[in-house]
Amino acid sequence: MDTTLIDNGILKQHLIDPEICIRCNTCEATCPVGAITHDDNNYVVRADVCNGCMACISPCPTGSIDNWRSMPVARAYSIEEQLTWEELPPEIAPDQWAAEGVAAPTAEVAPAAPAALAALAEPGTQAFHSAHYGATVPPWSAAHPYTNLFPPKSPTTATVVGNFNCTEAGFESETHHVVLDFGSMPFPVLEGQSIGIIPPGTDALGKAHHARQYSVASPRNGERPGYNNLALTVKRVTTDHDGNAVRGIASNFVCDLKVGDKVQVVGPFGSSFLMPNHPRSHIVMICTGTGSAPMRAMTEWRRRLRSSGKFEGGKLMLFFGARTQQELPYFGPLQNLPKDFIDINLAFSRTAGQPKRYVQDLMRERVADLAALLRDGNSHFYVCGLKSMEEGVVMALRDISNESGADWETLGDTLKREGRLHLETY
């Protein structure tokens, strides 16, 4: 990295395009140095923290993250400026460079190293970064995904053909299974991909709502095989992270949809969180709440292949957590899956009279099985759910690896490089 370019008063500032960004949080969750933050309007990059490592580039589903501007250091766009943007600013004109007393760049400017802006950088780093081990490439045998067929400015329309509560009826924390049909409009998706739903209306500032991202819960041939449809798993948001009453704009819109309603859809998104096609591949799925959506898609695709009688697949292992059994999406259907098809482990953290149990606790109870799978090059691990679960899950994998005699740093890097450990948390 050519830091003399910084010394000459020029940096290449990393920016996020607010017109394309669907606010999915992938970049912030992926960034290993905490350079990305957001408010209710935009996701933005801290120029004083970003080190140009490019870890956020590949996981971004829309490409909005891949934007740069050559800037005089003294005029680097602040977080406050970026949070107000509706579109990216234009490149600085030659006369503006002169006005800053800086010669306009005549060659490609390298991204700025944090050492170049040390006076502004925030001190302190974490000892363990779970996001470091998340793959940004798909498994070698994954099918080819189609992405961004319908960008935010050119959505397509889908029709609601099904909507039902997939948690126990009457429970206050509803999670809905919603089926959308695309008619004659091609909308191919793979297990692990996601779509964006644009809620109708405008926000408090009179601006059209941004798309909200939801993982697809159905396999590649549709919720109903042979039909051009897909399913989503959507929890109705009624409180924020602090327990205060709120009404989630998109989640309530989707949960209240009626059969026949029309919705605006963008996407599909996602090119790495994909299941392997190799029949002997083992799949370990670790999820909480609506993070079950891609796991349901993968499980259902394997179930359909198995029912054909011509498929002998590898192992399927599921670690699924929720606060209570009543809040666990698809609890009933899970109980009907054959035990020789999938190894199901359920964790409940708020069951009355019972100790709190989380998915990482269940993983530590299955050390022998997981250690064997970690040693097997055909094993693939998928983690999806709230961001708060990610570190505990990856640390459990680390401890299981080390306890079994395998060095986690070596194994973790191998899993990442080969696209066999995928983290999708929010």
Number of C-alpha atoms within 13 angstroms, CB side, residue 269? 29
> Which percentage of the chain shows pLDDT scores above 90?
55
- How confident is the model at residue 125, as a pLDDT? 42
Any idea which of 59-68, 113-122, 194-203, 367-376 has the lowest mean pLDDT? Answer: 113-122
Query: Would you place residue 104 in the very low, low, confident or very high pLDDT band (cuts 50, 70, 90)?
Result: low
- How confident is the model at residue 119, as a pLDDT? 39
- List Cβ neighbours of 137 (8 Å cut-off, separation of 6 or more): 58, 272, 417, 418, 419
Using CA atoms, how far apart are residues 35 and 15, in angstroms rounded to an integer?
A: 11
- How confident is the model at residue 401, as a pLDDT? 96
- How confident is the model at residue 2, as a pLDDT? 34
Q: Which amino acid is at 355?
A: P
Strands 421-425 and 379-385: parallel
Query: Would you place residue 113 in the very low, low, confident or very high pLDDT band (cuts 50, 70, 90)?
Result: very low
Return the domain boundaries, the chain: 4-118, 156-269, 282-425
Judge whether 28 and 64 are in contact, CB under 8 Å: no
- List Cβ neighbours of 329 (8 Å cut-off, separation of 6 or more): 166, 167, 175, 177, 233, 289, 290, 292, 322
- How confident is the model at residue 386, as a pLDDT? 85
Note the pLDDT tens digit of each residue in 26-77: 888 888 888 999 987 889 999 888 888 888 887 787 888 888 888 888 788 9
Query: Would you place residue 198 in the very low, low, confident or very high pLDDT band (cuts 50, 70, 90)?
Result: very high
Q: Provide the H-helix boundaries in 126-170.
A: none
**CATH number assigned to the domain with residue range 156-269, chosen from the 4 options 3.30.479.30, 2.40.30.10, 2.30.110.10, 3.40.50.300:** 2.40.30.10
Same fold for the domain at 156-269 and the one at 282-425?
Answer: no
- How confident is the model at residue 388, as a pLDDT? 85
Note the pLDDT tens digit of each residue in 248-285: 899 999 999 999 999 999 999 999 999 999 989 999 99
Is the confidence at residue 190, as pLDDT, over 60? yes
Is the confidence at residue 3, as pLDDT, over 60? no
Is the confidence at residue 120, as pLDDT, over 50? no
User: What value does the mean pLDDT of the chain take?
Assistant: 87
Number of C-alpha atoms within 13 angstroms, CB side, residue 349? 11
- How confident is the model at residue 308, as a pLDDT? 82
Of 122 and 74, which is predicted with more confidence? 74
- List Cβ neighbours of 81 (8 Å cut-off, separation of 6 or more): none
Nearest C-alpha neighbor of 426 from the set 9, 72, 43, 155? 43
Is the confidence at residue 155, as pLDDT, over 60? yes
Got the DSSP string for 225-293? TTSSEEEEEEEPP-B-TTS-B---HHHHHHHT--TT-EEEEEEEE-SSS-----TT-EEEEEEEGGGHH
Is the confidence at residue 109, as pLDDT, over 60? no
- How confident is the model at residue 110, as a pLDDT? 52
Q: Is CATH 1.10.3720.10 the right assignment for the domain spanning 4-118?
A: no
Judge whether 194 and 214 are in contact, CB under 8 Å: yes
- How confident is the model at residue 8, as a pLDDT? 63
Mean pLDDT of 353-373: 94
> Which percentage of the chain shows pLDDT scores above 70?
89
Judge whether 406 and 372 are in contact, CB under 8 Å: no
Any idea which of 56-60, 287-291, 377-381 has the lowest mean pLDDT? Answer: 56-60
Note the pLDDT tens digit of each residue in 415-425: 999 999 999 98
Is the confidence at residue 102, as pLDDT, over 70? no
Is the confidence at residue 227, as pLDDT, over 80? yes
In this structure, CATH architecture of domain 282-425: 3-Layer(aba) Sandwich (3.40)
CB neighbourhood size of 180 (10 A): 28
- How confident is the model at residue 5, as a pLDDT? 40
